[in-house]
């Protein structure tokens, strides 16, 4: 197999300015893909990721978008195509949290998380699938969460959105498999990112104690799973949810 199996392909990664999204953008570049680094507000961080992408000898572009606005979400596909050519790979990674117990969760915090974490992914997939169906090829990977599989106290909105991504993944996979398009998801567990770094020490210790692997995962480990699902070794895998959680959901 080529050491650049994705050479000549164009990928769009949302939430790519940091964490799992940044690691995925760089890993896709290492596999040969050109990458659109989509971000919400962290322009400097996104450009740093783009520079890392370019260091692998491929093209990169940074694209700002408010994914709470469906029109901006859909335009990411058009903008990526204009800059890099037809989009072959979509990674819906962007997500926000607005944590609170369900009885205290405001309508606004519910709606914002659903809009960014679930609706934007659907809108991006819908926009990307039209040309993918014509071209009879494409890879979509949605980043869900162990919270979408098991639920998590204080995250009814987040867990609902991430569970919704799993249902979206499975339904779309059945719709487009005959056209050479795969749609899969990854469900990360506790991963070392800026979000988990902000957890209180007691919460971190409790989280790690529940993981059979006895450690948090890394963004690179999730990125490796995403690149596999986007690559030639996963052509007969679709509608699957790959858990990257150290055994937490076993």
Output the CA–CA distances (angstroms, integers) from residue 187 to 88, 136, 159, in the order listed: 22, 27, 11
DSSP state of 233: G
Q: Which helix (H) or strand (E) holds 187?
A: strand 181-188
Contacts of 158 (CB under 8 A, 6+ apart): 95, 97, 98, 99, 113, 117, 145, 147, 152
Spatial neighbors of 130 by CB under 8 A, at least 6 apart, are none
- Among this protein's residues, is 158 annotated catalytic? yes
The single residue of 74, 94, 146, 158 carrying the catalytic annotation is: 158
Contact of 245 with 211, CB cutoff 8 Å: yes
Q: Which residues are catalytic?
A: 158
């Amino acid at each position: 197999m080529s050491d650049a199996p994705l050479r000549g392909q164009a990928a769009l990664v949302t939430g790519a300015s940091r964490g799992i999204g940044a690691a995925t953008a760089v890993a896709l570049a290492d596999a040969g893909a050109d990458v659109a680094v989509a971000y919400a507000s962290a322009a400097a961080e996104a450009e740093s990721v783009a520079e890392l992408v370019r260091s692998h000898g491929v093209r990169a572009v940074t694209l700002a978008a408010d994914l709470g606005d469906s029109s901006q979400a859909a335009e990411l596909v058009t903008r990526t195509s204009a800059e890099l050519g037809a989009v072959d790979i979509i990674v819906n990674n962007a997500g926000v949290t607005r944590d609170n117990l369900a009885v205290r969760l405001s309508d606004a915090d519910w709606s914002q998380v659903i809009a960014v974490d679930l609706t934007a992914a659907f809108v991006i997939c819908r926009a990307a699938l039209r040309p993918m169906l014509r071209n009879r090829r494409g890879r979509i990977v949605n980043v869900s969460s162990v919270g979408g599989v098991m639920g998590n106290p204080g995250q009814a909105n987040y867990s609902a959105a991430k569970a919704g991504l799993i249902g979206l993944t499975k339904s779309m996979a059945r719709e487009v498999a005959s056209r050479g398009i795969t749609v899969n998801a990854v469900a990360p567990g506790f991963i070392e990112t800026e979000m988990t770094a902000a957890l209180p020490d007691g919460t971190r210790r409790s989280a790690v104690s529940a993981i059979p692997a006895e450690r948090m995962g890394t963004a690179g480990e999730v990125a490796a799973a995403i690149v596999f699902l986007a690559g030639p070794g996963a052509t007969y895998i679709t509608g699957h949810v790959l858990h990257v959680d150290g055994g937490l959901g076993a």
